[in-house]
Amino acid sequence: MMRSLLATLLVATGVEGLLQSAMLHQHAQRTRSSVGMASVAKSGPFAPLVQTAKTLLGDEELNSLRGKVIGEHSKVIKTFVDSAETEFGKAALQKLFAIADGDGSGDLTLDEVTGALKALGFSYLTDAQIAAIFERADEDGSGTVDLAEFCKEAPRTLRTNLIKLAKLNGNELGFLV
């Protein structure tokens, strides 16, 4: 089975390394002003390249190319998230759960879920959105999320938020000028 780019990255760096990188990214995000999802960045490291491509290709062709790239990137995210039922996917989810379980209790509290989502770079999620994710995951109403509940909810949450994060990062990098 072909692994997605993100899945390969997880294997190559280890889930812990990815989470640590995400926490560093989150810290960096706190120190700069946030860019709204609907606004378009006026600059970024790739803005000059994109401006040149716009001049050479024209708006219509550039937008078509962007659409193709976004579509392929979305497929990579989908392939990674769809791997949740594979041996690799289950191992990755178990490792993510263990990292999020700060106190080692075997259950995640709302604070632990909040910390994990923020560490993954989903800093745009509001407290209400995180509470809704937590409530949806806590199927038995125990006030905590166990591994089975986590493994059921995580793919949905990851799919939605990895795509949102990609859009935000693309904007900040200047791909949307």
What pLDDT was estimated at residue 136? 97
Q: Percent of the chain having pLDDT more than 70?
A: 76
What pLDDT was estimated at residue 158? 94
What pLDDT was estimated at residue 41? 56
Instruction: Concatenate the DSSP letters of all residues of 82-102 into one string.
Output: HGGGSHHHHHHHHHHHHHH-T
CATH of domain 5-34+42-172: 1.10.238.10
How many helical (H) and strand (E) elements, i.e. helices and strands, does the chain have?
Answer: 8, 2
DSSP SS3 for 53: helix
Burial of 134 (0-12, 13-18, 19+ CB in 10 A): buried
What pLDDT was estimated at residue 40? 57
Q: Percent of the chain having pLDDT more than 90?
A: 62
Q: Indicate whether 53 pLDDT > 50.
A: yes
Confidence of residue 177 (pLDDT cuts 50, 70, 90): confident
Tell me: the pLDDT tens digits for 87-140?
999 999 999 999 999 999 999 999 999 999 999 999 999 999 999 999 999 999
Confidence of residue 80 (pLDDT cuts 50, 70, 90): confident
The model's pTM: 0.70
Q: Could you count the other beta carbons within 10 Å of the beta carbon of residue 162?
A: 21
Structure tokens that stand for 93 in this block = 């989810």
Degrees, nearest 5: CA angle 47-52-56: 145
